[in-house]
Structure 1
Amino acid sequence: MFSDLAVPKADPILGLTQLFAADSSPEKVDLGIGVYKDEAGEVPVLATVKAAERWLTETQMSKRYFSSAGNDAFNSATRSLLFGAQSDAFTRSRTVQAPGGTGALRLGMDFLRVARPGGRVFIPTPTWTNHGHLLAAAGCEVVNYPYYDVATGKLRFDAMMEALQDLAAKDVLLLHGCCHNPSGADLDADGWRAITDTLGRSGALPFVDLAYLGFAEGLEEDTYGIRLLARRLPEVVIASSYSKNFALYRDRVGALTIVGANAADSDRAYEHLMPLARALWSMPPDHGAAVVAHVLGDALLAADWRQELAEMRTRINMIRALLVKHLGGAARDYAFLSRQRGMFALLGLSPEAVRTLREEHHVHMTGTSRANVAGLNIANVERVARAIASVSDL
C-alpha cells in the first residue's frame, strides 16, 4: 500500500533548513525560519519563562488532565491581554487553548463549517502559506483578495476594498492582526475602520490571525484592530499565539477566542468548540500555557516580560533601519522595509537572485524572497545588504 503512494511535494521551509545545514560556510545566515534571534544569533529562552518554569517545578503537584478547553488561568489571561479585563469584549468572549497558533486556526476553521455552513473564506494575497493548507484540510471554500504589491512595497488597499465588496453574510474575512506574514505591511487605523465598516454592512465574520502580538508597535497598539472589531461588530474570532512574544516555539502555546454578541451566544459557541477540540487533540499541552498564565498573573513577572518583549521589538526595528541604510546603493529603493513591522519582509527578488544569494553569498531565504530580518545582527547586516544589492537586478 505505502509503495503506491506518490512522492509528496517537499515543504519549502523544511527544504530550506536542510540546505542551510548543508552549507559549510562560517558566514552563512539563515533568514528563512520564522524565529526571533538575538544579537548572538541564538533563539533565546526568556528570563521570565525560566522564572516561571522554576516556579512550576517547585509548586506543580499534579499532571492530571484538564478539559479540552485547556488551562483556565491561561484562557482568562489571554482574553485580558487581547481586550483588557474590564472591557465589554472580555465579558462577551470565551477562549479555548490550542496547540500553537496553527492549532487555533484549524479549530476556528472547523468551527466555521458549523457556525457558517456554505460560507466562503476570503484570505489575503499574499498570506502565510499554511493558511491555504489549513483551509483545504477543513474543507473551506477560499476566495483570494489582493493585499500587498511586492514590486512597490505597498498595500493594495483600494483593490482590497473593492474585492471585499463581494463579502456576503455567511462569509468569513481572514485578517492579520499585525506584522503581516510574509510582507510586514500592516493596516493603519483608517484601514481597520474601513474594513470594520465593510464587515458591518455585509454581515461577514472577521477571523483574525494574531501571531505576533507586541512585535509591531506594542501590546496595546497591536490590539487596536481586534478591539475595534469587537466594539463595533457582534461577532469576532481570533487565533493568537505565544510562540513569538514568549519565544515558546516548540511548546505550542496558542488560543482561539470567540466574541459573541453577548455572553450567552459565546457560551453556546464555546459548547460547539468543545467536541471539535476533543476530536482534534483531546487536550492541549499544558506546560507552555502554565508558563504564560503564571507570568501574566504575576505583576512583577508581567512587567519584566513586557520589557523583554519591548527589547525584541526594538532590536528588530533597529535591524530594519540598518538594513535600509546599507541598501542605499541598491538598484531599487528599499525604504519600505523601515516602515514595515515584525520579523518578515518580502524583498521582491527573483528566484535566480535568491539562488545566487544562497550559493554565492551563503544568505538563505525562501524562494519568494521572504526574509526573516530577525536573523540579522549588527555584525552581518552590512554584508547581507551588500549581497542583496548585488543581486537586486537579476
Structure 2
Amino acid sequence: MPSTFPPRTDPLWRLTAACDADTRPDRLDLLVGVYRDDTGSSPVFGAVAEAERSLAARSPSKEYLGPAGNRDFTNALTRMLFPSEDVRARTLAVQSVAGTGALRLLAELLAATGPDRTVHLGTPAYLNHRTILTAAGLRVREYPMLLPDGRPDPNASLAAVATAAPGDALLIQGCCHNPTGAAMPTQSWEELAHAMAERGVVPFVDHAYFGLGDGLDADLEGVRRMLDILPEAVVAVSASKAWGLYNERTGCAIVVSDDPARRALAHSVLETTARAGYSQPPDHGARIVHEILTRPELRTRWSAELDSMRLRLGHLREGLTDALVRRTASAEFEPLREQRGMFLRLPLSEDQMGRLRDEHGIHGLPSGRINLAGVPTLLVDRVADAITRVHGGPEAARPVLTGARG
C-alpha cells in the first residue's frame, strides 16, 4: 500500500541489528536490558524451571481467560508488591503483555479519563516512554532530572509537580532508573507524594527492575509509601527482569483509587483496550509467576536467585568504577557507584560511544547507557581500558592487576 511516510525503526533494535552484524569474535553486546551471566547466557531461573515442570505435570487448561488475563497471577503479584491490606482494597489489576503492554494500557486509561492531561517525564528517559505516551494521545512535557555531574537532581520532580496542572500525571520509574541507574531515596518518595497530593497530580509508576537495586523490599518501599499517602495512582509492572521471563511477555497494569466507581470505570477501559488490541495476554508466564509466589519453597529459591543477580551487578559496578577511577584519576566516574540495577550510564558523548563501538567492539547506546550485566567479570579490565581510551584520561589504559571484586 502506498505511503507518504518514511519507514521508521526503533533505534534500539536498529543498534541491536548492527551489533549482530559485527563479526569481531570479541565484540560485546551491552545494548538490550537482558540479564546475562559470566558466560554471556541469559539463564532460566531454577525456580522458573521447577515451576514449569510442575505446571507441565499438572497439564493446566489452555482455555481462554478473557482480556483481564490470569486473576490468580494478578492477585498474587499485588500481594507481593503491596503488603498493606488497605492499599490492596483500593487496587484493581489486569494482566498485560509485559511491562510495555501495561504502560500502553495505563496510558490509554489516562488519555480516556483526562483528554487534556499532560504527562511529565524526566529526561533522559526510557526510549519507549514518549512513544507509548504520545501513541495514546497524551501530551508529554519533559524536564531534566540530572545534575551536571550525572547524579539525580533531588528537586527536579518536585519542580515538575509544582508547575503541573491538577489531573496531570508524573511518570516515575520505581527503581533502577533506565537509562541512568538513578535511585530515589524513600524520603524523596514521601516528599513527592505529599507534593502530588497537594497539587492533584497522579503518579504513573513504571516498575520493571525491582530486586536488582537494593533488594526486593527496599526497591518496592518507595512506591508502597507513596500509595499510603495518595488517593490514586497507576502502576505498570513487568515480570521480565525479576523472573527472567523476557519472551513470555508477562506484566500487570494496576490502578489504585479510593473511589469504587472510578475503579470500575478504569477496569472497563483497561479490558476494552486490551480486547481491541490483543484480545487477551499469554498465560504461560503468568502461571509461572503465580506458582513461584504461592509455593514457599519456590519463592525462597527465586528470592535467593534474584539476590545473587543483584550482588553480581553490585560487584561489577564497583569493580568497573574502581578500574576507571584508577586509570583516569578523574572524579567524573565516581557517581557511577551510586547507580543501581542492570544499567550503567557512562559520562561519554555520543561520539565517544561510537568510538567505543567502532574501535573496541563494545556496543552501548549513544546516550552512554550500557547493560552492566553483559560484562563478564574477567573482561572488566578490557572494558575499563576501552572506556579510558575514548574518554582520554591522563593515564589512559594504564595496566592494572585487579578486576571486579567478587
Shorter-chain TM-score range: over 0.9
Unaligned runs of 5+ in 1: none
Deviation at residue 7 of structure 1 after TM alignment:
3.5
Paired residue type of 2:105: L
Distance 1:184 1:159 in 2: 16
Partner secondary structure for residue 196 of structure 1: helix
Deviation at residue 5 of structure 1 after TM alignment:
4.6
Deviation at residue 264 of structure 1 after TM alignment:
5.4
Higher mean alpha-carbon deviation, 160-169 vs 372-381, is at 160-169
1:33 corresponds to which residue?
32
Q: Indicate whether 1:266 and 2:263 are aligned.
A: yes
2:352 corresponds to which residue?
353
Distance 2:4 2:295 in 1: 52
Deviation at residue 222 of structure 1 after TM alignment:
1.1
Distance 1:110 1:185 in 2: 27
Unaligned runs of 5+ in 2: 394-406
Deviation at residue 279 of structure 1 after TM alignment:
1.2
Deviation at residue 301 of structure 1 after TM alignment:
0.2
Paired residue type of 2:182: A
The question of whether the paired residues in 2 share the 8 Å contact of 1:135 and 1:142 is answered with: yes
1:242 corresponds to which residue?
239
The question of whether the paired residues in 2 share the 8 Å contact of 1:93 and 1:263 is answered with: no
Q: Indicate whether 1:230 and 2:227 are aligned.
A: yes
Partner secondary structure for residue 49 of structure 1: helix
1:21 corresponds to which residue?
20
The question of whether the paired residues in 1 share the 8 Å contact of 2:92 and 2:256 is answered with: yes
Q: Deviations over 1:55-83 (max 9, x none)?
A: 11111242100011100110001111110
Higher mean alpha-carbon deviation, 314-323 vs 350-359, is at 350-359
Distance 2:154 2:335 in 1: 16
Aligned ranges for residues 1-394 of structure 1 at < 5 Å?
1-2=1-2, 4-84=3-83, 87-149=85-147, 151-263=148-260, 265-328=262-325, 329-330=327-328, 331=330, 333-393=332-392
Q: Deviations over 1:193-240 (max 9, x none)?
A: 221111010111101000111111111111112111211111111000
Distance 1:201 1:40 in 2: 50
Partner secondary structure for residue 256 of structure 1: strand
Deviation at residue 359 of structure 1 after TM alignment:
1.4
Distance 2:69 2:246 in 1: 18
The question of whether the paired residues in 1 share the 8 Å contact of 2:318 and 2:337 is answered with: yes
Paired residue type of 1:248: L
Distance 1:61 1:375 in 2: 36
Deviation at residue 124 of structure 1 after TM alignment:
0.8
Higher mean alpha-carbon deviation, 34-43 vs 266-275, is at 266-275
Deviation at residue 263 of structure 1 after TM alignment:
4.9
Distance 2:200 2:161 in 1: 12
Paired residue type of 1:230: L
> Following superposition, which runs of at least 4 residues in structure 1 exceed 6 angstroms of deviation?
none
Q: TM (normalized to structure 2)?
A: 0.93
Partner secondary structure for residue 167 of structure 2: coil
Paired residue type of 1:117: P
Identity of aligned residues (%): 38
Partner secondary structure for residue 259 of structure 1: strand
Partner secondary structure for residue 334 of structure 1: helix
Deviation at residue 160 of structure 1 after TM alignment:
3.5
Q: TM (normalized to structure 1)?
A: 0.95
Paired residue type of 1:70: G
Q: Deviations over 1:151-184 (max 9, x none)?
A: 4021122344223211222111110000000000
Q: Please, what is the CA RMSD of the aligned residues? A: 1.6
Distance 1:53 1:160 in 2: 42
Paired residue type of 2:97: P
